[in-house]
Structure 1
């Protein structure tokens, strides 16, 4: 009987597990992937998240691997509309930094292994869950063969019956399975991503907010023209964004009219050149297309099953909020679960407070993400001039201070 089983070993699940282990709780992580993903997805890490990493004792290790982002530059039609400067403080934990997600995950996994040796289990697919009232049973499939490539721990789309406090059981979709294990914990946390199977199994539905926008991204060598700055090009054909990465690289992202699943990095470079007149050097990195969906779970707690990260809220990655929002979930959920375990009578109220606070933060983040996407949509004529004038107004005090606070997630 574990105190907590975390389903999903991505950056949010493993940070939460580490924060629980630091508190002396007995925690185990189940991750569908047999090997870590080397895809470079989320890169931005904001000051509130560095506080969470600091609690785990890995903030300095992450900062040492990352590159600092000192501010942002907004351009349109070859002209600079404004510049956003993040406060330059002596506290190295009060900064915006950039590091590829797989490198951050490696630091988190190494720290969790120090805290709880052998408790990170890869290649384990969760197929069902049953809330027994005083504990939760988790059913797994037989271990995956080495080299499995699932991206999340349970990416099913079926729905299950049951509500908060009601026993719930279900199995994953598909045909007959090899027998797996039955595990038990006082609480189970669903950190299994936007297509969370556990969320479906406990009957939590999601409300769609906005979405449908499509983007193409890839990493290129950095020409060094804007060291430490993010660059946003608000152009007629749609936004182009650029962010520094460690190792002399830059990530480039462009809004596209449709999902370009077969596009290459050369296609992205041509798109960037046509919109911004910036000519990117050749790269060996592959391009990646994605479509933005924004959803919010109608609740984040169902009995002894709790949602965290993308399982609870899916927002646009534009603006670098997704992973950070999940980390802030973990920062609040870890002490809530500790209190619920130490004082079972207070458990329902403590978790209800977590639900209320984090859903409110997710709604705020979704509104900000919606604003970011709207600002970056294609525009021309009067609409383009009005948008550029608005951007100029936002780039001067006092609006610039408010904008910097929003983009560094200090109010979430």
Structure 2
């Protein structure tokens, strides 16, 4: 029987796995995917996450690739308006973060078990039995569901995921190359007609992360994202002749969702990261909140595994993190609305969502 079985090998699951393995506990990590992804996704680490990664021994690796400051270059109706320098964190692609964590975990003797899909959960006072889609059963003392917003773990537990969401995408996103475009700044183009496109140079690569308003048809309905659509959006908003977007290695769409689980512990099973809460992207708090979830859950499980593991010990995680999740949802929703309003004014951009405008609950 393993000490902790972790479902999901994103930043949350891998952070938790490294934390527990470093403490000397037996850990297994399963993922329904067949291999790691290579997508920029969440691309910014905040100081609190850097502190966690320093303790885990991966910060030096990440720092050799990521950059600590970036200039936001704002354009409006095709004209360069101003530049805004920002710092205080680390700009780096999510796939690079996961790769560094996987390498650290491998050095501790643990490897992600890809192609392993969770299908059933049962538990008693002695532990948890996780049944996989292929019929394999894994016994563990505890299970941590770190398997994303569509969490199978959460669904199998029957835990409600309450909140609101939009069916229509608010943004199309992807990773592209843009030969000839300066990689010294994060380009942010907006127009008086509404909408815009952002191209952020990803460190350690020759690609940009693209974020843009969806292209719409004659009926006003959003068109599915594609490289061809990205180019038309770029031509419409950036108005930079001669730049052709190429090699789209990631194409997706993002919808506004503000949801959280009504509870993040069910006996010996816990939820963390997007499995426990999803929120708007403003401020880059999603991945970072998941990393902090993992650090808190690591402390809770270590205390339970090293001691009697009573209810008071196990309840500590939910007592700490559920109020934080609720605050993050409210905060990021407010930040997102601020950004949507700000970009209508020349010279303003995503920087308005980088800090909160109201103190956290209880402060």
TM-score normalized by structure 2? Answer: 0.83
Q: Contact 2:189 / 2:237 at 8 angstroms: preserved in 1?
A: no
Change (3 A) 1:327 1:363: same
Provide the secondary structure at the position in 2 that maps to 1:14: helix
1:277 aligns with 2:233: no
Residue aligning to 2:150? 195
After superposition, residues 123-142 of structure 1 pair within 5 angstroms as: 123-142=115-134
Matches within 5 A, 1:195-344: 195-212=150-167, 213-218=169-174, 219-221=176-178, 223=180, 225=182, 227-229=184-186, 231=188, 233=190, 235-246=192-203, 247-256=205-214, 258-261=221-224, 263-279=225-241, 280-286=243-249, 288-292=251-255, 293-344=257-308
Contact 2:12/2:272 (CA < 8 Å) preserved in 1? yes
Q: 1:75: Cα distance to partner?
A: 4.1
Listed as ranges, the matches of 1:375-394 within 5 Å are: 375=338, 377=340, 388=345
- CA distance in structure 2 between the partners assigned to 1:223 and 1:406 by the alignment: 36
- Name the CA shift for 1:211/1:78 in 2 (closer, same or farther; >3 Å): same
Deviation at 1:205, TM superposition (A): 0.6
Matched residue, 1:154:
none
- Measure how far apart 1:114 and its partner are: 1.0
Q: Tell me, yes or no, if the aligned pair for 2:200 and 2:210 is still in contact at 8 Å.
A: yes
Q: 2:337 corresponds to which residue?
A: 374
Partner of 2:163, secondary structure, is strand
In 2, Cα distance between the equivalents of 1:225 and 1:375? 28
**83 and 366 in structure 1: CA distance in 2 versus 1, 3 angstrom threshold:** farther
Give the 3 Å change call, closer, same or farther, for CA 376–220 of structure 1 in structure 2: farther
For 2:283 and 2:244, how far apart are their aligned partners in 1? 24
3-state SS in 2 of match to 1:128? strand
Aligned to 1:148: none
Cα displacement (A) at 1:318: 4.9
SS in structure 2 of the partner of residue 86 of structure 1: strand
2 CA distance for matches of 1:110 and 1:55? 15
The Cα shift of 1:326 comes to: 1.0
Partner of 1:111: 104
Aligned position for 1:91? none
Q: Give the TM-score of the pair, scaled to structure 1.
A: 0.74
Structure 1 equivalent of residue 24 of structure 2: 24
Task: Point out where structure 1 has 5 or more consecutive residues left out of the alignment.
Answer: 88-93, 143-179
Q: 1:85 to 1:348 in 2, by over 3 A?
A: farther
Contact 1:69/1:228 (<8 A) preserved: no
| Unpaired runs of at least 5, structure 2 | none
Decide whether the 8 Å contact of 1:16 with 1:330 is kept in 2: yes
> Would the aligned equivalents of 1:299 and 1:355 in 2 still touch at CA under 8 Å?
yes
Deviation string, structure 1 residues 233-260 (Cα, Å, up to 9, x no partner):
3653224323221234322211225553
Cα offsets for 1:296-316 (capped at 9, x unmatched): 111111111100111111223
Secondary structure, counterpart of 2:170 in structure 1: strand
Q: Once structures 1 and 2 are overlaid, which stretch shifts more, 215-224 or 310-319? A: 215-224
- Relative to structure 1, the CA distance from residue 80 to residue 318 in structure 2 (aligned partners, 3 Å threshold; closer, same or farther) is same
What do you get for the CA RMSD once the two structures are aligned?
A: 3.2
Matches within 5 A, 1:165-176: none
How much does 1:58 deviate?
Answer: 0.9
Q: How does 1:354-365 map to 2 (within 5 A)?
A: 354-365=317-328
Question: Would the aligned equivalents of 1:126 and 1:140 in 2 still touch at CA under 8 Å?
Answer: yes
Q: Secondary structure in 2 aligned to 1:344? A: coil
What SS class does the counterpart of residue 159 from structure 2 fall into?
Answer: coil
Q: CA deviation at 1:79?
A: 5.8
Aligned to 1:185: 140
Deviations 1:43-86 (A, max 9, x none): 22222222222121111111212244334344434566765443
- In 2: Cα distance, 1:181 partner to 1:232 partner: 51
296 and 274 in structure 1: CA distance in 2 versus 1, 3 angstrom threshold: same
CA shift in 2, pair 1:289/1:323, >3 Å: same
Q: How many residues align?
A: 350
